[in-house]
Amino acid sequence: MNQGLANQVVLVTGGARGMGAEHAEELVALGAKVVVADVLEREGRALVDKIGQGAVFAHLDVTDADAWKRAIALTEDTFGPVRHLVNNAGVLTYGSLESLDERAFRRTIDVNLTGAWLGMRAALPSLRRAGGGSIVNVASTAGLIGYAHFGAYVASKWGLRGLTKTAALELSREGIRVNLLHPGPIRTPMIEGLDAHLVDTQPIDRIGEPHEVTAMLIFLLTEATYSTGCEFVIDGGATLGQLETRATQPG
């Protein structure tokens, strides 16, 4: 068992499925006490039933400040103060600059960026009561480069980078580290239907698996004790640039 996580209280947003579910399950296996926070009630409760006593479900719309207060209160009542916050919840919106609906754009910013800000603000008193800890904001390679037709998503993730660095500066003297995780194409429901062409020109030419992101997350929570405001990329080399496709390679 990673002793750095034994009995540590971790709140994971977007925890009901995909990367969040993988994070929650592995964190509990390592001895952490995990709050699976999500709007997906059925999936979230099913996951908690599977994991066992080390986890509890909290219904959380990350865009709702009052819902955040309730989630933090549930966490403290069940396990104690929050030691680690993982802002993993996110939505992916497709549409060009001209075609994307304004409501969809605002919703994407609300969930991916405002939601993380609300979460850090709500969790801060609890983190202080825990004596410090860490926050990991889950961004994306879309926070490092642009993607055509994903402008709202890209804007939200670039914004999350700046917010994370600001929070890292403000909270550094309180023993709270704040870092960024940038996954590339990972096998989750979010990219279902898009994954076939995503890795054609990528140096590591396969889709990443959620457990690979979880391994990096655990490192950030337990081992990266001299890192704050930093960005950790797990993308199969996607942000290096593009290789030729197999079809265009000689031979």
Residue 247 inside a domain? The answer is no
What is the pLDDT confidence band of residue 249, given thresholds at 50, 70 and 90? very low
Domain count, the chain: 1
Nearest Cα residue to 113 out of 63, 178, 66:
63
Find out whether 233 and 220 touch, Cβ atoms under 8 Å: no
**Cα dihedral sign for 242, 246, 248, 251?**
positive
The torsion angle over the Cα atoms of residues 207, 105, 40 and 206, rounded to 10 degrees, is 0
Residues marked as catalytic: 153
By CB atoms closer than 10 A (0-12, 13-18, 19+), residue 186 is buried
Amino acid identity, position 205: D
Give the model confidence (pLDDT) of 100-149 as tens digits. Answer: 999 999 999 999 999 999 999 999 999 999 999 999 999 999 999 999 99
- CATH no. for residue 87? 3.40.50.720
- How many other CB atoms are found less than 10 A from the CB of residue 233? 20
Would you call 191 helix, strand, or coil by DSSP? helix
Q: Is residue 243 in some structural domain?
A: no
Q: Is residue 194 part of a domain?
A: yes
Helices marked H in the chain: 18-29, 41-51, 65-78, 102-109, 115-129, 151-171, 210-222
- Looking at the domain assignment, is residue 202 inside a domain? yes
Structural domain contains residue 1? no
Stretch among 34-43, 71-80, 236-245 having the lowest mean pLDDT: 236-245
Among the listed residues 176, 167, 47, the one whose alpha carbon sits nearest the alpha carbon of residue 35: 47
Question: Is the pLDDT confidence value at 3 over 60?
Answer: no
Residue 155 is assigned to a structural domain of this protein: yes
Global confidence as pTM? 0.93
Q: Confirm whether 106 is domain-assigned.
A: yes
Residue 165: which domain range?
9-238
Establish if 248 belongs to a structural domain: no
